[in-house]
Structure formats: structure tokens, C-alpha cells
Chain A
Amino acid sequence: MGLVTPGIGLIIWMTIAFLIVWVGLGKFAWPAILETIKEREENISNALKSAEHAKAEMQKLQSDNEQILKEAREERDNMLKDAKEIREKLIADAEGDAKAKAEKIVADARESIETEKTAAMAEIKNHVAALSIEIAEKILKAELGDAAKQKQLVDNLLEDIKLN
């Protein structure tokens, strides 16, 4: 067993010891350790991946939300615009209607005034005629009270006819 001459006993012991530790740890320690490490690495990478996935999902959701919001805003704007238009149209329509109605009312009123006026004139005319007849009656009664006067009138009338 010099410094550079390997001793046979040591070689045998070393071989046995190393085989024991290699096989022993190779059976009970290394696989458990390495597999757990590998498993954990997979877990971590999976977790990272799913986090990434979730992030992407979130982003997608967010953009979806934004899209929805945008659409909603557009819809609201459209609705407002429509409402405005409807209102304006309504107002315009109402104004038109009112004007037409007012004009009709005015026209009706004018017509009825005219009618009333005509009726009133007719009545007045009737009244005047009746009054004139009454007056004429009374005058005639008074004029034709004596026979001389009647004869003269008939003569006058006859004369007029003859002349004709």
C-alpha cells in the first residue's frame, strides 16, 4: 500500500461500499428526489402556463367587455339620436297638426259665422217683410176705409193698365 500502489483490500472495500451506496440510494433516495423535483417542476410550469392562460382569458374578457361597452355606448348614442329625431318629428308633426286644426277651426268658425250671418239676415228680412206687410195692411185699412177712395184707386189702376 504505497502512495501510488493501490491496495487490494481497499479496492475490494471501496467497490463494495460504492456499490452499496449506489444501489441503496439509487433505489430509495434518488428516484424519490428526482421524481418529486420533476413533478414539482411540471406543477410549476403547468401553474405558470395556466396563469398565462388565465391572463390571456382575462385580457380577452376585458377586450370583450370593452367591445360590449363600446357597443352599448353606440347603441345608447343611437337611441338618443333616434329619440331626438322622434321628438323633433313629433314636435314638428304636432305643430303641423295644431296649425291645420287651428286653421280648420278658424275656417269652421268663419263658415258658421257666415251661416249665422245669412240666417240672421234672412230673419231680419223676414221680420222686415212681416213688418212691411203689417204696416201696409194698416195703411191699406186706413186708406181703403171709404168707397170713393177705393173707386178712385181702382180707376187709377185701370188707367195704368189701359195705358199699357
Chain B
Amino acid sequence: MMLKHRPHKAFKPFFLLISLAFLTSGSLLASEDYDVHAEDSTHQHGVNEEASAHATDHSEHEAEAFNAGDMIMHHVMDAYDIHLMDIGGHSVSIPLPVILYSTEDGLSVFLSSSFHHGHAAKNRYVLNHGHIYRLGLNNPFASSEEIHLEEAMSMGYSEQSWGGVFRGENGAFIDLSITKTVAGILITVLLMFIIFSKVAGAYKREGSNEAPKGFQALMETIILFIRDEIAKPSIGHKYERFMPFLLTIFFFIWIANILGLIPFIGGFNVTGNIAVTMVLALFTFVMTTVNGNKTYWGHIFATPGVPGWLLPLMIPIELLGVFTKPLVLCLRLFANITAGHIIILSFMSLIFIFADIYGAGAGYGASIVSLLFGVFMNVMELLVAFLQAYVFTLLSALYFGSAVEEHH
């Protein structure tokens, strides 16, 4: 174990830096912290009597092995803290507020640091593998914040004797926490307010007789691009009504995408989160449906040029199309951004996989290739960040265009 461990440790300072630089994720090296829970995946699936038996199988040997899959998923998924880096095995992270609501106990608001990385319960809530669970009333640490869940499990306490372990998804409580992704959303929103209040201020100050300057000019280029290349051709003369939405959605996605590419700030994955893209797509869906005119609905329920006997077939197809459009929007953005993050993380993981298998030298060797690919992918992702924002906005505009299109 120690022999295998050592090369990994020796890599730490060096790779800490480069991995942070490209991935914004110190969690590469967080395997100790993370792998403590590696065995009790049963928790995620709810009650499992074997959990306690498995828990004793924890060996430090396994704990030290680098698990690329875990690391990547840990980065890509949402979290209750912003993990900046690990220094000497201690994770440096910004705790975020956890807001939970259950019908029995009402609102619980506390910082995610109260969980002590899953080692402690708080108000019967526990954090395990990045998920919050609620313990039954009879759990051995209902009132305590000091008892380690993992230890209790290994001591033979079973979940059933506590009255069960509940998940938010099952309706036991509502999780309104400011997670990493929510923080990313709020940062994006804040940035947008700062940027565009400044830009709008410049417009108000300079008036229409002055040429735009500096940052204002940069933003104007993009705004004009959205107006002239997206809104006008896709929607037609009614484009003005949709401009605020299109601009908001474009800049939101773009800024959030870029936020996910900035190193050292915790590796946000806002637009690579399906809930975020779902909400964005739902907004487009609602806008399209609300603005749909006679021609739009006519195309769905009485497609012109289709013989009457085909309508029973056409109407379900067209109706399906109404819903698949936003679904595709949602999935495309989510998949593109998540895939980009996974690819970069995979390249970085290669370094540690090589180091684990062939020793430190191989790790250094692999790092050169990984770095080159990582840089390449990062630059690609910058392009993708813009492209996906563009595609989402363009398709939204096209849907709006079909909704307000006049009969011709």
C-alpha cells in the first residue's frame, strides 16, 4: 500500500497545480476523503441490510487507488461545497448553505461544513457520496453532530433499526440548498447584472451619437450578432418581442459555460447540469407555446396539405414534436458541456492512472501528452461554450419564429 501510495504522493505538488489549472478540480487528489465512502454505494439505493457488512471491508489499500470514474463524476455532479483544492490530504473548500425542508421539522438551514464531509449528522440529515439523506427518528445520532455515520455503520447499526434512511427524491424532504451549481447560477446572474448594467449605463451616458467604446463595443458586437444573425432571420419582423429573452438566454448560457472553464474557482458545471438546461428549455417551451398563433396551432392540429385521413397519425406526431423540441434543447446543452468536462478530466486522469500502474516516470511522461490534449480540449471547450450558447439561442429563435409565423 505504501509503495503504491508513495509515487502518488510525490506527484501531489506538481500535479496539484496543473490539474487545478486545467480542471479547476483538486478532487483529483481527494481520493482518501472520497474513497472512505466508496463501499457503501448501497446507501444510494436506500435500505440495504448488507451495508454494514460491506462497510467493514474498507481497506486503505483500495482507498488509495485512483479512481478516475469517481473523480470525474464527483467533478461533473453537483456538490454541497465548492471544492477548491487539496493540500496534504486536507480538502480546501468553501462550504455552502444547506437549506432543507421537511414537513415534520420544517426548515433547516446550516452550512454544509456541518456535515464534516459526511462524518457527522445534522438535524438527522447526513451527507453521503454527495447526496443528502434523512435518517429515521430512532437513529443512534439523532441529536448528535459528532458521531460518524461510517463508524456507526461499521459497528453494526442497521438502517432499519433507525426507522429507515430517506431520500429527498422520495419526498421525505425538499432540498433547496445553495449547491455548487446554484452558486454557479447566482454568480452567472450576478455577473450578468454587473456586466449589463455597466454596458447599459454606457449606452445611457453616451447616447446614440457616440460610437461604442471598449467593453461596450465588444458586447454590442455580440448583441448585434444575436439580433441580426439569430433573431431577425429566424423570427422575422416580430423579433423585437423576443430579443430580451434571447439575449438573456444567450449570455446566461455563455457566461455559465465559461464559468465552468475557469480554473481555480472550483469547477462549476452549471450548464452541464440537466436541471439547469431543463429549466432553460422549459422557458423556451413556454415562450413558444404562449406565443403560438393560429398558424402555429393550425400546423399541429390540421397540418396544411395533409389529407384528412392522415390527421389521426399527424396530430400525435406534431404534438410529440412540440415536446421533443425543448427536450432536445435541454439534452444537447447538458450533454455537450458535460462531455467536454469529462473529456478534459479524462485526459488529466490519465496522468494518475499511468502513475498508479507504471510509476512516477510514466505519470510524468503521460502528463506531457495529457497536458497538450488538455490545453487543446480547453480551447475547444471555449469554442463549444460559445457554440452551444449560439445553438440554444438560434433554435429557441427558430421555435419562436414558427410560433409567430404568419400564414402565407
Binding site for B on A (CB under 8 A): 1-15, 17-18, 20-22, 24-26, 28-34, 36-37, 39-40, 42-43
Chain B nearest Cβ from A126, distance in angstroms = 118
Known: A29-B200, A37-B203. 15 other contacts (CB 8 A): A1-B175, A9-B182, A10-B276, A11-B275, A14-B280, A25-B244, A26-B244, A32-B200, A32-B203, A33-B199, A33-B200, A33-B223, A36-B203, A36-B207, A37-B223
Main secondary structure of the interface of A (DSSP, over half): helix
Chain A nearest Cβ from B132, distance in angstroms = 9
User: Contacts A1-B131, A6-B278; is A34 near B223 (CB within 8 Å)?
Assistant: yes
14 A-B residue contacts at CB 8 Å?
A: A1-B179, A6-B275, A9-B182, A13-B176, A13-B182, A14-B185, A17-B182, A18-B279, A30-B244, A32-B200, A32-B203, A33-B196, A37-B227, A39-B208
- Tally A-B pairs: CB < 8 A: 133
CB–CB A22/B244 < 8 A: yes
Q: Is B189 an interface residue (CB 8 A)?
A: yes
CB–CB A9/B279 < 8 A: no
| Cα distance A25–B250 in the bound complex, in angstroms | 13
9-residue interface stretch from B47-55, B70-78, B293-301? B70-78
CB–CB B280/A32 < 8 A: no
User: Contacts A6-B275, A10-B179, A32-B204; is A1 near B78 (CB within 8 Å)?
Assistant: yes
| Cα distance A112–B188 in the bound complex, in angstroms | 131
Main secondary structure of the interface of B (DSSP, over half): helix
| Cα distance A7–B338 in the bound complex, in angstroms | 16
CB–CB A29/B199 < 8 A: yes
One digit per residue, 1 when the CB lies within 8 angstroms of any chain A CB and 0 when it does not, for chain B 264-291 equals 0000000001111011100100000000
Residue of B with least CB distance to A6: B275
Chain A nearest Cβ from B253, distance in angstroms = 11
Q: Which of B182-197 contact A (CB under 8 A)?
A: 182, 185-186, 188-189, 192-193, 196-197
B220 surroundings in chain A (CB, below 8 A)? 33, 37
CB–CB A5/B189 < 8 A: no
Interface centre among B169, B179, B243, B244 (most CB of A within 10 A): B244
CB–CB A28/B197 < 8 A: yes
| Cα distance A39–B273 in the bound complex, in angstroms | 39
User: Contacts A4-B274, A18-B283; is A25 near B78 (CB within 8 Å)?
Assistant: no
Chain A nearest Cβ from B167, distance in angstroms = 10
Residue of A with least CB distance to B101: A9
Q: Is B107 an interface residue (CB 8 A)?
A: no
| Cα distance A110–B311 in the bound complex, in angstroms | 134
B186 surroundings in chain A (CB, below 8 A)? 17
For the complex of A and B, 10 pairs with smallest distance between CB atoms: A6-B275, A39-B208, A26-B244, A10-B275, A29-B196, A40-B208, A29-B200, A36-B203, A14-B279, A32-B200
